[in-house]
Structure 1
Amino acid sequence: MEPSRPEAGGGAVRPKAPARSRWPAVAFALASALSMLSYAAFTDHIWEDFFITFRHSENLAEGRGLVFQPGERIHGFTSPLGVLLPALCHVVTGERSYREAIRAFRLLSVVAYVAAGLVLLGRLERESSGRGLSWWALAAFLALEVKAIAFSVNGMETAFLLLFLVGTLALVARDDVPRRWLPMGICWAGLMWSRPDGCVPIAAAAAADLLFGPGRFRSKVADLFKAGLVCTAAYLPWFAGAWAYYGSPVPHTILAKANLDQDLDPFVGPVGRFLATATRAFLPIYHNVGYGQGWHPWFWPWAAAMGVFGVSYWLVPIRDRWGRSCSLMFALMSLYLSFLSFSFPWYMPPATLLGLATIARGVPRLVAPLGRRFRPAWVLAAAPLLAVGAGMALIFVLTAIQMRVQANVVEMGNRAKLGRWLADRVGPGERVYLECVGYIGYFSGARMADWPGLVSPEVVEAAGRFGTDFYTTLGVLRPEWAVLRPWEAEQMARRVPGFSSDYELVRTFDVNPQVYSLVVPAPLRPVVFDANLPGIGYLTYDAKFLVFRRRDLGTLGEEVG
């Protein structure tokens, strides 16, 4: 167990820590790097949104501007770092292909993730006065957290977002850092450069610092105010540059997503949504697609217990400023995500990291007082931490299997193939209407009219002007091509007058037989529920597409296949 100690700022004199071996930190760095590189090598999965962003990066690197469609200044990406770093990687690797660029980007992400872990573990070591059970538990959690790892090596900016979040977290509830506001402001700016909603973890960190940080309230407010000025100054060049280049500092993706319906269950209520979001932070990627098909039911109560502990620990009157700060930030992040129309899995890693830090720190702290009466009290702390780690390890393995199938069969075997097919047939100026614009848009090189309009102003305009949805927007725009999933095609025929007469089916791309023919390895079958693969509902979601073309364009000369 970890010995308790006086809180920082409480008047106690902190004894000088003895020199400690560096091998645990080195071991963590090697283990986490190996975990990330192994996942990347085994799955070779590239996230859909990477190709939306990388089309901008590629155009910038090759002199066509920071645009999706040359000649159209549309802010069709979200993260400044997420678009600029891949562009740099593309240049450094000789502008050969996306493969070389993402490999370089992955290496940068591994370095950022490992650095984030070392900073977080360093703060925990300081709080625990050594490397106790909490330290080793959190080190294992970080090396196994598959959402953070997956979105750090599949082309997203997650590793850098986590690095700046951890940098902020290392400074929360501290009074022993000279000019603390300067590094805090730099970390805040990094959050904003990583993602536009970086202001949310910034606000959560400020709230935790004000509530749990030592020192006078006025002094803390002054520090946070100066940190805000540093953040503003460091982020202003991008803000002003984007405004000048695109005509607005607001990413077009945010304007597009404003057209999405708020899919909030009125029967659950805000408290239910809040707890459900805290639970989702620990569940597998896209666990909710296909109603969780392919994931065993025991994952839900396991994740729910972690979520409840994470959001409630800050309410416990215990002398643990930093652990309770992590818990409050996790609760505030979960609250924010619970009011989004849909909490996409790449939104989750920051909240998940805060929750894991709360669990690793909080469980041993709560059990520590029992050590006076029950000598092996550490067992009471080790057991739940071991259960958390075992569940995470299992989800890591199953997710790797799932994403390997997604990458090889669904993405490259279907969506990329469909995009290349369109590249040979879509004429100049012809538009392709669809929802999943990443792979198909990149490999086709065609002009995309995507829903909800991430890279298509005409879709956003139609939705805003006529109040249209995914289906009725096609009737307004009448694009030359439409790429639809089977149920989308059925709804399109029912809801859009003239769709069946104006559009003909010219090609079918279907890899469902390949997906259903694959089976999870025998030792893992008991932990896969009601399916042959983990998360098969997600795997089959994009396994079949129907390609339609307007009849007035003439005959394509292809058989439907």
Structure 2
Amino acid sequence: MNWPERIFSSGKIPILTGFAALAVSLWTAFSHPGSWEDDAYIFFRYAQNFGDGGGLAFNPGEPSFGITSVLWTLLLGGFVRISGLEAVVAAKILCAVLFSSGVWILTRLVLSRTRNGFLALWTGLLTAACPPLVFSAVSGMEIALNMFLLTTLLASFFLSPQKKFWAGGILVGLLFLTRPENLILLPVWLFLTLSETENRAQKSLGFALGFAVVVLPWFFYFYSRSGLILPPTRTGKLLLFLPMQFGLSLEEFQRAGLVERLGIAVRSIAVLFKVKNFLIFVPFLFLTGYYILRNRIAFTRFWLAGAAYCLGLVSLFGFFFPLIKLRYFIHTYPFFIFASVLGCYHLWGDVRIRWPLFARLLWIKSGIFVLLLGIPILGILTARKFAASSQQQGIRREIGLWLKENTPADARVALEPIGAVGYYSGRHIVDLGGLVQPEVWPYLKEGSGSRTDSLLVFLERKGVDYLIDFSPHPWAAKVVDAFPEKFDRAARIQSPYPPAGADSYDIFKLRR
């Protein structure tokens, strides 16, 4: 056995890649304070209130359900309560642990399928150092949890000798509580269950029971408290961003025909194929395709199910929620990495047979590159990208700290986005985006257009003390321009690192 084979034949490779992922993710997460996603701060505030014993509430004492990931909120809130850490710090640690656990599972899966330590190591390091994946996983959102559960579900299909389908039902239920669109996995996994040759009825029942045990308690609790089936965040975002991005109201979008919906879907999905994202996907898609073509029969059901899940996600967002971001799909990267590594394994076998000398040189040099050069470079790039994007939240953090120092503790502040400002200020937030407070929806429909008086009525009815918006005023603060006698500018907060499209925020005090 030569030295590369001795190095890459160890069964401890999954543990090594797991620790590598933990180191990279922790370094990336703590390379800059806070998070680059404003929505992450919504989770932080919910988790902080939950950890402090206030239940599910964005504003203390005011129960609300403006969260897309109840499982992530409860998990983070529980960790905050146990550890006593601030939510933003707890989220970084928890995200890193979940991400590294997912890398460990994926590496173990590849090692079991190929019996090739080098490919397993390559898989783990590629996943641990994939810039967009690490960048998203440590953002404080539910992405790391989503990836971990999806990778666990993937492993359960290949590694469970007894195919315990009740466990699959539990995992799909947990994935649904992590992101509502994961409900697509329900018919996908049922397809895998029903395609079994033995005990199909028993396995289907086990899957259904596992799913029901996880989902039904939360569903009944959520419906009894809110009267809704799904969180209000989707409607709020559509009301706010459809006019900005597509020039459509929510009613116009809902009335749109199939052809018009298809056009909107194509325009929204095109976001995923920006150059930087597309270049990441190209090698994955090529090697995935090679593996599937090379093994047309093996695991056909699994690849059909995986393709159905990915296409279902894209279609669901494109047709029903065309406000697409890469973070809604980034958790599927391990699926492509797993398939592409298996494709590389078979491609390597074909090359080794035809060009053995070239294959041997490629094997050794690529291993040295990945271990000694590739990972440090990618890790540095990931940390820099995270730091640069995190600066965009700096101005909102400054607003929150200004409010904390210069306003009464019981002050009511109206704005959108609400995350970072709400978390750092600790003030009562009136959500003008309708994510956590559906009562703003009727006013939002009118006030985001020409009916600025409608928005003013809402602000006065809610007892708002301060109104915050971009300068110049593109949306909410149009009411300031329409009714200048009602407002005084209390402050203008500027940042050396302004977010795209905004140089400053204005803070207005409402006159009584």
Residues 489, 507 of structure 2: 8 Å contact kept = yes
Matched, 1:54 2:44: yes
Matched, 1:456 2:416: no
1:106-136: CA deviation from partner (whole Å, max 9, x where unpaired): 3333332222222222222232243343x23
Matched, 1:188 2:165: no
Residues 417, 433 of structure 2: 8 Å contact kept = no
Residues 294, 346 of structure 2: 8 Å contact kept = no
Question: Residues 127-166 of structure 1: matches in 2 within 5 Å?
Answer: 127-133=113-119, 135-166=120-151
Mapped partners of 1:71, 1:460: distance in 2 = 22
Question: Residues 206-221 of structure 1: matches in 2 within 5 Å?
Answer: 206=190, 209=192, 215-216=196-197
Residues 433, 450 of structure 1: 8 Å contact kept = yes
2:30 to 23, 38, 41: 41
Residues 272, 326 of structure 2: 8 Å contact kept = no
1:12-50: CA deviation from partner (whole Å, max 9, x where unpaired): xxxxxxx96333222212211111111122223334223
Mapped partners of 1:438, 1:429: distance in 2 = 18
How far apart are 1:315 and its partner, in Å? 6.7
Matched residue, 2:270: 276
Matched residue, 2:4: none
Residues 28, 135 of structure 2: 8 Å contact kept = yes
State the secondary structure of the residue aligned to 1:507: strand
Matched, 1:66 2:56: yes
How far apart are 1:475 and its partner, in Å? 4.5
Q: Read off the aligned partner of 1:198 and give its amino acid letter.
A: N
1:115 to 101, 105, 111: 101
Mapped partners of 1:393, 1:103: distance in 2 = 24
How far apart are 1:416 and its partner, in Å? 2.1
Residues 106, 155 of structure 1: 8 Å contact kept = yes
Matched residue, 2:257: none
Matched residue, 1:79: 69
Mapped partners of 1:93, 1:370: distance in 2 = 52
Mapped partners of 1:311, 1:469: distance in 2 = 47
Q: Read off the aligned partner of 1:65 and give its amino acid letter.
A: G
How far apart are 1:175 and its partner, in Å? 9.5
Matched, 1:546 2:509: no
1:477 to 458, 469, 482: 458
Mapped partners of 2:311, 2:368: distance in 1 = 23
State the secondary structure of the residue aligned to 1:81: helix
How far apart are 1:82 and its partner, in Å? 1.9
Taking a change above 3 Å as real, the CA distance of residues 328 and 384 of structure 1, as seen in their structure-2 partners, is farther
Q: Output the TM-score relative to the length of structure 1.
A: 0.72
Taking a change above 3 Å as real, the CA distance of residues 58 and 275 of structure 1, as seen in their structure-2 partners, is closer
Matched residue, 1:168: 153
Taking a change above 3 Å as real, the CA distance of residues 490 and 61 of structure 1, as seen in their structure-2 partners, is closer
Mapped partners of 1:313, 1:203: distance in 2 = 27
Taking a change above 3 Å as real, the CA distance of residues 540 and 272 of structure 1, as seen in their structure-2 partners, is closer
How far apart are 1:485 and its partner, in Å? 1.6
Q: Read off the aligned partner of 1:245 and give its amino acid letter.
A: R
Matched residue, 1:302: 279
Q: How many equivalent residue pairs?
A: 479
Residues 311, 331 of structure 1: 8 Å contact kept = no
1:239-278: CA deviation from partner (whole Å, max 9, x where unpaired): 2222333344532323423424555697994895587365
Residue identity over aligned pairs, in percent, reads 21
Moved more, 224-233 or 310-319: 310-319
Mapped partners of 2:499, 2:490: distance in 1 = 24
Mapped partners of 2:261, 2:175: distance in 1 = 35
Return 5+ residue gaps in structure 1 as ranges. Answer: 1-18, 281-296, 516-537, 554-561
Matched residue, 1:523: none
Matched residue, 1:228: 208
How far apart are 1:510 and its partner, in Å? 0.9
Residues 278, 307 of structure 1: 8 Å contact kept = no
Q: Read off the aligned partner of 2:154 and give its amino acid letter.
A: L
Taking a change above 3 Å as real, the CA distance of residues 424 and 110 of structure 1, as seen in their structure-2 partners, is closer
Return 5+ residue gaps in structure 2 as ranges. Answer: 1-7, 248-259
How far apart are 1:437 and its partner, in Å? 0.4
Residues 70, 177 of structure 2: 8 Å contact kept = yes
Matched, 1:29 2:6: no
How far apart are 1:202 and its partner, in Å? 4.4
Matched residue, 1:178: 162
Question: Residues 408-557 of structure 1: matches in 2 within 5 Å?
Answer: 409-411=391-393, 413-426=394-407, 431-463=412-444, 466=446, 468=448, 472=452, 474-475=455-456, 477-478=458-459, 480-487=465-472, 489-490=473-474, 498-511=482-495, 514-515=496-497, 539-541=499-501, 544-550=504-510, 552-553=511-512
Taking a change above 3 Å as real, the CA distance of residues 91 and 146 of structure 1, as seen in their structure-2 partners, is same
Residues 56, 83 of structure 1: 8 Å contact kept = yes
Mapped partners of 2:246, 2:201: distance in 1 = 35
How far apart are 1:308 and its partner, in Å? 5.0
Taking a change above 3 Å as real, the CA distance of residues 156 and 549 of structure 1, as seen in their structure-2 partners, is same
Residues 79, 195 of structure 1: 8 Å contact kept = yes
Residues 318, 324 of structure 2: 8 Å contact kept = yes
2:384 to 401, 419, 439: 401
Taking a change above 3 Å as real, the CA distance of residues 45 and 65 of structure 1, as seen in their structure-2 partners, is closer
Matched, 1:198 2:187: no
Matched residue, 2:237: 257
How far apart are 1:181 and its partner, in Å? 0.4
Residues 367, 381 of structure 1: 8 Å contact kept = no
Moved more, 247-256 or 117-126: 247-256
Q: Read off the aligned partner of 2:299 and give its amino acid letter.
A: R
Q: Output the TM-score relative to the length of structure 2.
A: 0.78
Residues 269, 324 of structure 2: 8 Å contact kept = no
Mapped partners of 2:399, 2:268: distance in 1 = 39
Mapped partners of 1:335, 1:65: distance in 2 = 35
